[in-house]
Amino acid sequence: MPPPTARERRRQALQRQTERVGRQVATWQQQSQRLSLARLLLFLLAFVATAAAFFTNGPRLALLTAVLAAIPFLVTVYLHRRLEAGLQRHRLWRELRLAHLARMDLAWEQLPAARFHHAPPNHPFALDLDLLGDYALHRLLDTAATRDGSQRLLEWLLDTAPEAGTIQLRQALVQELVPLARFRDRLALQARLAGRDQADHWAADKVRAWLAEP
């Protein structure tokens, strides 16, 4: 039996990571549900205890009871939010792995929706090479976190007179990033965490304006 190719090893590694993170997500989801129930029970208990103290011993004891009852409730809220933050990171990390697998398998239905569908009129090769659309090269390659990055990739693909020096420079930059798979994924994860609403990509001009604010 021939040894697995680099592509096969990469695919197997992605599958193992996806399964491992999926198990962790399932475990944390159960813990999150238990903490949600604990928050509800602690809130109800605090309300009942405070009301009972108020009607039996007056407002001072009711206030003390409310403060004491709030402590375990607030601790539970903190733990729950911390767990949810970790759960969100793991969900997005798993989505990145699944997207990698989808690109390797050309599983178009599992990829993010195409942003561009129509080539410029009379473009010499966009239609022939399937550069745009739901089953197109741009959708397969586009992992940009900003609309501007996605647009720039499109401009590169549609360039009818690319310069050799520019292409060589881009290829050199890509070669530097090839072995940095974990760095690229972590960068993509941070981008998704910063922009939770995935209905639209960031606008780079807005990001630059935000960075320029005093």
Centre a 10 Å sphere on the Cβ of residue 138 and count the other Cβ atoms it contains: 22
Give the residue extent of every domain in the chain.
Answer: 6-108, 112-212
pLDDT band with cut points at 50, 70 and 90 for residue 190: confident
Q: Residues with Cβ < 8 Å from 201, sequence gap 6 or more?
A: 115, 144, 145, 146, 147, 149, 150, 195
The whole-number pLDDT of residue 43 equals 95
Residue 173 is encoded by which pair of tokens?
């930059």
The whole-number pLDDT of residue 121 equals 87
The whole-number pLDDT of residue 118 equals 87
Percent of the chain with pLDDT over 90: 66
| DSSP summary character for residue 134 | T
Chain centroid, CA 49 distance in Å = 42
How many Å apart are CA 88 and CA 40, to the nearest integer?
Answer: 22
Residue 169 is encoded by which pair of tokens?
């420079």
Contact 116, 154 (CB under 8 A): yes
Q: What is the pTM of this model?
A: 0.78
Contact 114, 130 (CB under 8 A): no
